[in-house]
Structure 1
Amino acid sequence: MKRKICVVITARASYSRIKTLLIAIKAHPLLRLQLVLTGSGLLDKYGGMQNLLARDGFRNIIKVSNLLENENATADAKTTGLGIIELASVLENTRPDIVVTIADRYETMSAAIAASFMNIPLAHVQGGEVTGNIDERVRHAVSKLADMHFVATASARARLIAMGENPDKVWHTGCPSIDLAIQAKSDASPQFDYECGHSKFPASKYLVVMQHPVTNAGGLIKDQFKSLLTAVEALQIPTFWFTPNADYGADRIMKEIQRYSEMSKNHKIHFLRNLNPETFLKLIKHCACLVGNSSTGIREGSLLSIPVVNIGSRQSGRERSCNVIDVNFDPEAIIEAVQKQVANGPYKSSLIYGNGHAGLQIADLLAKADLNTHKQITY
């Protein structure tokens, strides 16, 4: 009998982090995929995933609507609570053998808590890492609830073991997103130009900006966005700018983006909501520099040799390669760092986050691992 593996996708970033595992589960003779889409992944304003998943051949997707969009920190807590309620019903009906939860977004807490209370083995991808923001707390909380850990780096594995996790249940598989990045890196197709509106973006002559809210920055979120915008405008380099994740403060950034788009005649900046993972990786593979506070620059960027300017505290402590320069939200510092990175890059490729086989390896472990939900505190 095939093991039923329930994978919960909560946001656009979760899909690229897990796509090769989904493909591997579908193809595995001992596994059956149950796919749940919830949180911001259902909403078009945050790059809704339904059509993209369908185009990629995933069917019978279970949709769970739980995202509250009130612009305050309370909405995140209530979204998590609603997710527990709705996902508990889903798990009761589908009765999976294992629930898989991804990374560190607050919505992952819902799946972790529901599975744990229902005595369903919980597998966590990307535990044991260190960052800033609320993500740090969420990631480690999910790790303590999880029964199986599939980590991206050797240091992440060592941290989980130091936290008391059973070494036999912590596997260093690498990150599934690196599977896709390696495919993108080996793509021999020529660089290409991107046409957006009135502008043509020559290959390797554009920036990619990914700036998400720092949830503990409070009233500084709007000012941080304006500082980055000031720097990007001054650089006068064609730019693809992705809208933010559905975190507390995202609405303020979205309003500023809308205001700027309506008032500005600057055709060098083009705003995007989402791309399929392969197109997105091809976009960043050829960019002159990735700017902002997304983990993409540190994780996939290290493999793709991309020069990165990381801004602020959101990625504090995350393992990184030599391709990253860290700065604060000072426009002059951002400008100087970007100019330096454009001149220096590309960098030497790094395999710090994986070697391209994570999806297949995790699927095989899900098929063979002993299923057990008994945990005790150890040191």
Structure 2
Amino acid sequence: MKKIATILGARPQFIKAGTVSRAISENSRFQEEIIHTGQHFDANMSDIFFVEMDIPRPHRHLGINGSSHGKMTGEMISSIESVLMESKPDCVLLYGDTNSTLAGAIAASKMHIPIAHVEAGLRSFNMSMPEEINRIITDRVSELLFCPTETAVTNLKNEGILNSCGVLENVGDVMFDGALYYREKATAPVGLDNVSDFVLATIHRAENTDSPELLEQIVSQLNELSEQVEIILPLHPRTKSKLESYNFPLSERIKVIAPVGYLNMVWLIDNCKLVVTDSGGLQKEAYFFKKPCITMRPETEWVELVECGANKLFNPLVDNLNATYHQMLKFDDFSHLFYGNGDAAQRIVSKLEAFLNK
């Protein structure tokens, strides 16, 4: 039996990993140990979270959080190394681009343990983003690169990684697997059961919230748009704090709600008419549920969505949200299967089995 050590640190990673973990559990040739670094302490990740999401609970909790990027990553590397020395896995499985991903990659590579990276090859080409650094380093030391799109495969080939890895393949996106799985489990946030015909908005990235000029324009344009259509805004704590400190009031016509869990968010995406966001994952999830998206960022990892017209990059200092909203409502071609057929997890497990049994 082959042992896989899965290293996770943030709630979105658990959701991604849950899809693959369910597929691993169906294969008697694998044993999986889930290691939670504790990077994002989340009070919502109680026992009920794992039951509702049908996600395996972590086997080990490292409890590392609340410090700078460097200190936190260094502590994670040391703790992960100790766990791997004791556990002796045949492979380390990593997801995405968090500090936990980077720490797992460094620890495993120093111990010459094969690394499999899910969501390999994503690039924003913005080196000021910590996530971009984490992605590039993790891809460089991984032997199995599981890409979510053909664009990601092309990025890695352009970087010359093809000659240094064991597996480089577009397996599809595990988040698409998850969206299909959780759609039937999704529920409306409290008090929103009867809402319809609304825009879902989320703003949380530091690039937007830490700039008074950008945030003021975002708020002003959302307020103006709310005169035409209902907007539901799950308000991130960072954004809430910045709005209060800058004294930028949101219109009373915007329905502000507390941050929601994944099942509530799936319901909001599935039932909205359009998404306005600066989130990376939400751009893609909008496409899963056939909703046009306006992204308040200068670049995106999901370039195929911009190229096909499903996603529009938006500069609040230059562009007009009302005009862009009406333009994007006309988009209705969601026929491209950019993210696979919903079988990414099974394909990953098959590739892992073939690699580890060579």
Count, aligned residues? 348
Verify: 1:89 aligned to 2:82, yes or no: yes
The answer to whether the Cα contact below 8 Å between 2:16 and 2:174 also exists between their aligned partners in 1 is yes
CA shift for structure 1 position 130: 1.9
Other-structure match for 2:148: 152
Verify: 1:231 aligned to 2:230, yes or no: no
User: Structure 2 CA distance, aligned partners of 1:158 and 1:316?
Assistant: 13
The answer to whether the Cα contact below 8 Å between 2:5 and 2:33 also exists between their aligned partners in 1 is yes
Change (3 A) 1:224 1:265: closer
CA shift for structure 1 position 233: 2.3
User: Structure 2 CA distance, aligned partners of 1:36 and 1:43?
Assistant: 16
The answer to whether the Cα contact below 8 Å between 1:328 and 1:334 also exists between their aligned partners in 2 is no
Other-structure match for 1:328: 315
Change (3 A) 1:165 1:130: same
CA shift for structure 1 position 141: 1.1
Change (3 A) 1:135 1:230: same
Change (3 A) 1:313 1:371: farther
User: Structure 2 CA distance, aligned partners of 1:325 and 1:38?
Assistant: 35
User: Structure 1 CA distance, aligned partners of 2:265 and 2:193?
Assistant: 17
CA-to-partner distance for each residue in 1:149-203, whole Å, 9 max, x for gaps?
A: 1111123223323323346511210111111234467x6x9x997653xx77523
CA-to-partner distance for each residue in 1:53-112, whole Å, 9 max, x for gaps?
A: 24425235321222225xxxxx12222112112222222232222111111223311111
CA shift for structure 1 position 303: 2.9
Change (3 A) 1:281 1:344: same
The answer to whether the Cα contact below 8 Å between 2:156 and 2:162 also exists between their aligned partners in 1 is yes
CA-atom RMSD, angstroms?
Answer: 3.3
Structure 1: segments with no counterpart, 5+ residues: 70-74, 245-250, 373-379
Q: Where in structure 2 are the equivalents of 1:1-379 lying within 5 Å?
A: 2-44=1-43, 48=45, 51-55=48-52, 56-69=54-67, 75-131=68-124, 132=126, 133-162=129-158, 163-166=160-163, 168-183=166-181, 195-196=190-191, 202-203=195-196, 205-214=197-206, 219-220=210-211, 222-236=212-226, 237-244=229-236, 252-256=238-242, 266=252, 268-276=254-262, 278-315=263-300, 318-320=303-305, 321-330=308-317, 333-341=320-328, 343-370=329-356
Quick one: which amino acid aligns to residue 308 of structure 1?
Answer: C
User: Structure 2 CA distance, aligned partners of 1:273 and 1:95?
Assistant: 39
The answer to whether the Cα contact below 8 Å between 1:288 and 1:345 also exists between their aligned partners in 2 is no
Change (3 A) 1:293 1:193: closer
Change (3 A) 1:105 1:59: closer
User: Structure 2 CA distance, aligned partners of 1:273 and 1:175?
Assistant: 25
The answer to whether the Cα contact below 8 Å between 1:9 and 1:41 also exists between their aligned partners in 2 is no
CA shift for structure 1 position 43: 2.6
SS of the equivalent of 1:319 reads helix
Quick one: which amino acid aligns to residue 157 of structure 2?
Answer: I
Identity of aligned residues (%): 19
Change (3 A) 1:146 1:273: same
User: Structure 2 CA distance, aligned partners of 1:120 and 1:50?
Assistant: 31
SS of the equivalent of 1:207 reads strand
Output the TM-score relative to the length of structure 2: 0.84
Change (3 A) 1:180 1:258: farther
User: Structure 1 CA distance, aligned partners of 2:95 and 2:2?
Assistant: 19
Change (3 A) 1:194 1:111: closer
SS of the equivalent of 1:8 reads strand
User: Structure 2 CA distance, aligned partners of 1:229 and 1:67?
Assistant: 31
CA-to-partner distance for each residue in 1:106-130, whole Å, 9 max, x for gaps?
A: 3311111111112211110111122
User: Structure 1 CA distance, aligned partners of 2:230 and 2:4?
Assistant: 43
CA shift for structure 1 position 273: 2.7
The answer to whether the Cα contact below 8 Å between 1:20 and 1:360 also exists between their aligned partners in 2 is no
